[in-house]
Amino acid sequence: MTRLHVDLNIPDTVSDALREALQQEAREQTVLALFRRGACSAGVAAELLGRSYANFLEFLRERGVDYAPGNAQDTAADEAALRWMDRQADDDQSA
């Protein structure tokens, strides 16, 4: 798995709790922006955020993002991608 690091200049006066909140918000907003632009599917976006597909759909609803899976083929492709990513993660952990 490839890691992506984004640097934010945060003053030393900011608490650790706020730093963690900023990190989580940055991750969520980045993935959400990619998803909205169509750069990644709902399945991939869910995986990037460490959420289940159903939980990601709830995440979208909570943020007022309208989304309905395009068709059964799109949903099947998302689910297949998630299964493949799960297998890759299992392989990485056992190596």
The per-residue pLDDT for range 18-37, each reduced to its tens digit, is 999 998 999 999 999 999 88
pLDDT score for 33: 92
More confident residue, 38 or 51: 51
* Residue 78 structure tokens: 């998302």
pLDDT score for 47: 92
pLDDT score for 7: 81
The per-residue pLDDT for range 46-80, each reduced to its tens digit, is 999 999 999 999 999 999 988 876 656 666 766 77
Whether the predicted pLDDT of 15 surpasses 90: yes
Q: CA 95 → CA 11, 47, 60, 89, 90, distances in Å?
A: 39, 21, 34, 10, 9
